[in-house]
Amino acid sequence: MKTLERYIVRRTAYAFTLTIAAMTGVVWATQALRQLDLVTSKGQTIVQFIGITILALPFLIVIVAPFALMIALILVLNALSGDSELIVIDASGGSRFLVLKPVLLFSTVVLLLTASMSLYFAPMGLAQLRTEITRVRADLVANIVKPGRFITVENGLTFHIRNRSGKGTLDGLLLHDTRDEATAFTYQADTGLIIEAADRTLLVMQNGTIQRRPKKQGDISIVRFQSYAFDLSNLIPEAGDPVYKASERTTANLLSSAGKDDYALKNPAKLTTELHERFSQPLYCIAFGLIVFAFLGKARTTRHGRGLAVVGAICACVLLRTAGFGVTAISGGSTALLGLLYLVPAAGSALALMSIFREQRGAEPKWLSSFQLAVHERIEALTNRVKGGLA
């Protein structure tokens, strides 16, 4: 690459990295709150909670990567125009394609990143997330032992705990066992902890007592202990096989027609739509790159003109992606409509290329001028309305 191309790619890469990190972090935080019950009511630690929810990051990157690319290119091209670098390139006789080449190159890199996430890493992460959530929901402590409540695990066995710490320790433990035909046992302990050892699930209680009371006649006997293990293995519910939804299946599974399970047999349209969605999503990276360049790749001498171009680029990209989401929602597995998943980003790229080539010949497209004029009029009307209201 030439010096100018390396300069643009380097600036774009820096802006893209910061933007996608910020956007992914925000979206991940909002999605993680939906799984907050893994910490509050399912007995998992913060580390486990983060480890489980972070599995959804590849899927989130697929969604936010085109928008992060859009923002990065807007920042870089607007800065190049504001610093008169685009004007210098134009005045020196340089073609706009000197700037378009690194834009397309970086957009292709983002496309490859998005494609790898969409086709491989995102479904793998979502499938693992589904497996972990299924495992947590089958956990004894997660579903049975609730702080401050008396929970009957099975006939004759009742649990009660005062509190559960973030480390998984059970405080103020009470266990009442009347399953034996002759004797009732009551276990009290300051703390308890569920551990896995030798293929057994054990409740290890610390600093407590065991009260043995005959059900018919006899005195109560009390035994104090420092540590006592209560076997819970026969109480652990069996964790059923998770049912993977369309977005959680590998691309190979979606392509294969053999070995379909009940979900696949009942929802063939969802699987077909998901497959085409995975292949079409990365195309928006190229479309967004071309659209942003069509609006901001031309040297502009006024802040007003650059502001309208920025608004136009954002609106065009958002409308294009919204159209793609709309096609996904209405396709329903229809072969004719599924073609629109590819047509929408392809059409956006084609219109942007037409605009770029026409501007290269000196004539600005009428649709671009009309769009910018309409945006300018709306902004002015809104500004006048706000001023009138304040007056």
pLDDT, tens digit (0-9, with 9 covering 90-100), for 302-357: 665 677 888 889 999 999 999 999 988 887 767 778 889 999 999 999 999 988 88
Measure the CA–CA gap between 183 and 213, rounded to whole angstroms: 6
Q: In this structure, which amino acid lies at residue 175?
A: L
pLDDT, tens digit (0-9, with 9 covering 90-100), for 262-276: 888 888 888 888 999
Higher pLDDT, 97 or 58: 58
pLDDT at 9 over 70: yes
pLDDT value of residue 372: 60
The mean pLDDT value for 362-382 works out to 62
Work out the pLDDT band at 39, boundaries 50, 70, 90: low
Which residue matches tokens 């290890």?
A: 204
Q: Which residue blocks in the chain are alpha helix, DSSP H?
A: 3-32, 37-40, 46-53, 57-82, 85-91, 97-116, 122-137, 140-143, 251-255, 262-266, 268-280, 283-296, 303-331, 335-360, 366-390
* Cα 168 from chain centroid (whole Å): 27
Among the ranges given (59-73, 86-100, 109-123, 135-149), the one the predictor scored with the smallest mean pLDDT: 135-149
Work out the pLDDT band at 38, boundaries 50, 70, 90: low
pLDDT value of residue 285: 96
- What percent of the chain is predicted at pLDDT more than 90? 32
Measure the CA–CA gap between 368 and 316, rounded to whole angstroms: 10
* Cα 208 from chain centroid (whole Å): 45
Segments making up each domain of the chain, as ranges: 3-137+243-390, 144-235
Number of Cβ within 10 Å of residue 166's Cβ equals 12
